[in-house]
Every structure is written in structure tokens, then in C-alpha cells.
Amino acid sequence: MALRQFPDATPDAGISPHRPRHRLRLALVSAAAGVLLAVLWSFELVDKVIGDNVANTVLGHDAKETAITGTVAGLLFAFVSGFAGTFTACNIAVAASVGPMSQVSGADPAGGTRQALRALLRPVGWLTLGMVAVSASYGVVGVLAGDRLPQLSTDVVGGVPVRLIQSSVVFGVIGLALIYLGLAALKLVPDVFAHRPVARVVTIGALVGGFLVGRPYPMFNKLFHWAVDTGNPLYGALAFTLQSLGNIVLVTVVFAVAVAISRGRFLAWMADPRRAAVVTGALLVALGVFTVVYWDVRVPALFGFGWFPRMPYN
């Protein structure tokens, strides 16, 4: 009877419609957290201190300065540079996938750790499907288009590098999409995936794959040029796929560890519709707002377009 009286209280609907103020408050707090993160974010720390050191350590040489020699070296560089860029501003939003993934695991909370870990393959697989569809396609297009793409251009328009203009446009669109998905999870806007949780995960995977379309990360730029120089679209597709897979390694490991340590209880905890909506909505709104504010307000402000507060360490 409860489900008939209150349609929004279905497993896919999220938070009960009796408490819209709380949902709106959560959305506003999450948005504020996203803005604060954009203000405090240190690209020097995540790009150079963390990213460069991780890549240099894994590869055993200076990742930026050492030339890529050969196909195997290029593909290895693709995966390692993707992993090294986990915490960059053009990838951190992948953390928002944890909530939606937990809703499509298909795991029986009483099945224990082994059954829960097997169930990880399902959500990770759907996320990867959406991601690879976009990243592999862009790898093919990137090699065929080459330097005609703004992302590989060295031109400057109005004092702003053309490649950063592409970044602002792409990440602005992705950020808005994440915000909408977050608000939909909180039932503040219509949820087109209300009864299609798998489609939600695939869509988020596609957005993660789309990160490559706007990514200005220096090591990705190096990989992109290598792929174009090979002249082989298949290499481009494989290299971009490996880059994207490297991007989600950490979030996949964190997800698996949470399930293993809790012996599957994490999935049981996330099975509660209201709790799942809170986690999913908060993460998507916060990281979506961060993405929009960082790339469409903070970055342009660095070139004199508008104003944005700057920290002493940036």
C-alpha cells in the first residue's frame, strides 16, 4: 500500500517526498562544498606533486621528458598516466560513480564477502562499457583529425590557449550533466533513470570517458601527440581506452575494499533507497558543481575573464 500511496518511495526514487526541505538543503550544502573545493583545489599538488611523482615512480623515468618509443611503451604510458591523473581536476569527478555503482551490483547482502566481490564485476563492467564507448571512439577521431582538434592546438585566442577553451566547454557540459543526475537522485528534478539504474551507471561511464575530450593534462597531451604520430586509429582507440581504465583504477579498488572490509555490509547499507539517494545525490551535485566552477569560472579568471578567489599556494 505504501508504494501505491507514495510512488516516489520506490527503490529507485530516493528520498521520501515528505521531506523536500531536507533534500533541497542537502543539494545546497553539496553545491557549497563543490564551490569550496574549487577554491581550495591545488593543481600544483595534484598535477605535479602527486601525478608526476606517481608516473615517474611507476615508469622508472621522467614521464614528461622521456620520449615514448614503441607501441608497448606508448600503451604502458597510457595506462600509467591515466592512473597518475586520478586526482586531477579533470578526473576527480569519477568518485561520484560509487553511489550509482552500488545500486546495480545485484549482490545479496547476506551472501558474504565472496559473493559481494563477484557482484562488483557487474557495476564496474557497466561503468567501463559507457566509458570505453566514448574514449575509444575519441581515440579514433583524435588520430584521424590530428592537429585540427583544438585540444592539440598551440594557438591562443584572447590570451587563452585554444585547448583550454575546449576544456572549459567540455567540462562545463559534463559538470552540468553530473549536477542534473545528482538533483534527479534527490528527486528535485525528473529522473529519467528512475527505473533504469544500469543506464545511469553506463551514462556516468560515458561522462568519465568524455573527460578525455577536454583533458589538458600534460601527460595526456603527450600521449595524444604520440597516438596521432602513429597514424593508426586503432592505437588511438586502445591508448585512450587504457588511459580511461587507469582513471578508474583507484575508485574501483576503493569500492572493492569497502565491500571486502565490511563483508558485504556496505552494499546492504547502500541498499536503503533513502541512504543511496543521499550519497549519490550529494556526490554528484558536489563534484558536478566543482567541475563547472573550476573549469568555467576559476580557469577563465586566471586569464583575466572574471574574478575568482586564489589561495596563496596557487
Residue 310: Cβ within 10 Å count: 11
Its domain, for residue 144, covers 23-303
Residue 263's pLDDT is 75
Residue 7 lies in a domain: no
Q: Which amino acid is at 269?
A: W
Name the one residue in this structure whose C-alpha cell is 586526482.
87
Residue 233 lies in a domain: yes
Report CA-CA distances (Å) from 10 to 3, 13, 139: 6, 5, 40
Residue 57: Cβ within 10 Å count: 12
Residue 16 lies in a domain: no
SS percent in the chain: helix, strand, coil, step 5 = 75, 0, 25
What is the chain's pLDDT, residue by residue, as a tens digit (314 residues)?
344 443 443 444 443 443 444 889 999 999 999 999 999 999 888 888 899 999 999 999 999 889 998 899 999 999 999 999 888 888 888 888 877 777 666 555 555 556 666 667 788 889 999 999 999 999 999 999 998 999 999 999 999 999 999 999 999 999 999 999 999 999 999 999 988 888 999 999 999 999 999 999 889 999 999 999 999 999 999 999 999 999 999 888 888 888 778 777 777 777 777 888 888 899 999 999 999 999 999 999 999 999 999 898 87
Q: Which helix (H) or strand (E) holds 27?
A: helix 20-40
What's the structural domain count of the chain?
A: 1
Residue 13 lies in a domain: no
Q: Return the sign of the alpha-carbon dihedral for residues 106, 112, 118, 124.
A: positive
Report yes or no: 100 and 280 within 8 Å, Cβ to Cβ: yes
Residue 312 lies in a domain: no
Q: How far apart are CA 114 and CA 164, in angstroms?
A: 45
- State the Cα angle at 127 between 125 and 132, rounded to 5°: 90
Residue 11 lies in a domain: no
Residue 9 lies in a domain: no
Residue 300's pLDDT is 96
Q: Could you read off the pLDDT of 162-217 as tens digits, one per residue? A: 999 999 999 999 999 999 999 999 999 999 998 888 899 999 999 999 999 999 98
| Greatest C-alpha distance within the chain | 66
Residue 157's beta-bridge partner residues? 160
